[in-house]
Chains A and B, each alone.
Chain A
């Protein structure tokens, strides 16, 4: 099957910032993304878990699959929101089947 090169951007960010990040992505023309809950993890502040978080707390993962030429615009938009916050931004090469969708 024919596949096409794409970039997979995964942004793990604090839940209260989720809507600000997705709005910034949409404003930058990124209309396709997936938001996933994060169960827990470990980082510079030590271990944490979603269990026992009260209210709009914890972390979420926002995943975008985009054409490589749109990567810089996405990262610029995302960094405006996430720069000062706890979280992780990673970019990986990936392959997609239906290139016209990205």
Chain B
């Protein structure tokens, strides 16, 4: 998987003409979201719902609310970003990257490490709270914020969340019987599709890296590497408090370490149009996403396993 990502990254940086058609990439992301949501739901159906689910949801939401404040403070200290741009970037880092999450679940299953199926629901719950924190930071600084019911509707019912939660519920309702019927579709091809999807994400991240020059400062690049580590530490702390398994802790670390590049960018363009979108997208997609995929996830899994025990 990681090698596929690296291939895409290399091809993009080397300016190869390799590309994945937009519709194919969209189809693969739909497949991956459905498969990961469904498998999570089936796991919950098998093990039942307990207090850990609610605690994990609350922990994830709290992380998403609080991480933007840490990101904002770091950005204001280490870069010359304005309060507006820093808040927009902070929103990205409080929210999550579902592709990073999917990759982490795949790494865990490849290593035979079990994780809580409901982490899919935690991922969905962590998408939006960071946006509230970032808008509060901007409002506090006196800048104008354009936020309305329509934007909330778009954020909370964006396609990724609807598909992920919907597939999770389908999996939870149908359980093992449902899995028996469609396992040939959601289990066997999963790794191959993820490889191809990560090839495309490598191409996208490579373009982000190419664009990084001239858009972001060295301090911002350092932030793009340091912030996911701090997020992962916060995620680990929450996982320890809740009592998640090593696999669940690794996923919580991954969620807290990842930065959004789908839901939050669109929301920020509507709510904070004066913020520079190049900075946040370059950081989340060009710096943090490759870092998490190549160095972060293996480290989070190793740390969670070492501390909580495999």
B262 at the A interface (CB under 8 A): yes
Which of A45, A51, A55, A85 makes the CB contact (< 8 A) with B207?
A: A51
B106 at the interface (CB under 8 A from A): no
Secondary structure type dominating chain B contacts: helix
The interface residues of chain A, by DSSP majority, are classed as loop
- Tell me which of B19, B261, B278 contacts A46 (CB under 8 A): B278
Q: How many residues of B contact A (CB 8 A)?
A: 27
Cβ–Cβ contact A45 & B276, under 8 A: yes
A63, B217: Cα distance in complex, Å: 38
B164–chain A nearest beta-carbon distance, Å: 14
* A97 contacts the other chain (CB 8 A): no
| A52 part of interface (Cβ distance < 8 Å) | yes
Give, as a whole number of angstroms, the nearest-CB distance from A41 to chain B: 14
Report A-chain residues with C-beta under 8 Å of the C-beta of B263. 55
- Contact string, A3-33, partner B, CB cutoff 8 A, digits 1/0? 0000000000011110010000000000000
Given the known inter-chain contacts A16-B269, A84-B273, please indicate yes or no for A55 contacting B214, CB distance below 8 A: no
B232 an interface residue at 8 Å Cβ cutoff? Answer: no
Answer whether residue B270 sits at the interface, using C-beta atoms and an 8 A cutoff: yes
Does B146 touch A at the CB level, under 8 Å?
Answer: yes
1/0 contact string of B261-289 vs chain A (CB within 8 Å): 11101110110011011100100010000
B residues sitting closer than 8 Å to A (CB atoms) are 19, 144, 146, 150, 154, 203-204, 207-208, 211, 214-215, 261-263, 265-267, 269-270, 273-274, 276-278, 281, 285
What is the interface of chain A, defined by CB distance below 8 A to chain B? 14-17, 20, 45-46, 49, 51-52, 54-57, 84-86
Counting from the closest, the 7 A-B pairs by CB-CB distance are: A55-B262, A52-B207, A16-B266, A84-B273, A85-B273, A56-B266, A52-B204
Q: List 7 A-B contacts (CB under 8 A).
A: A14-B269, A20-B270, A45-B277, A54-B204, A54-B265, A55-B265, A57-B266
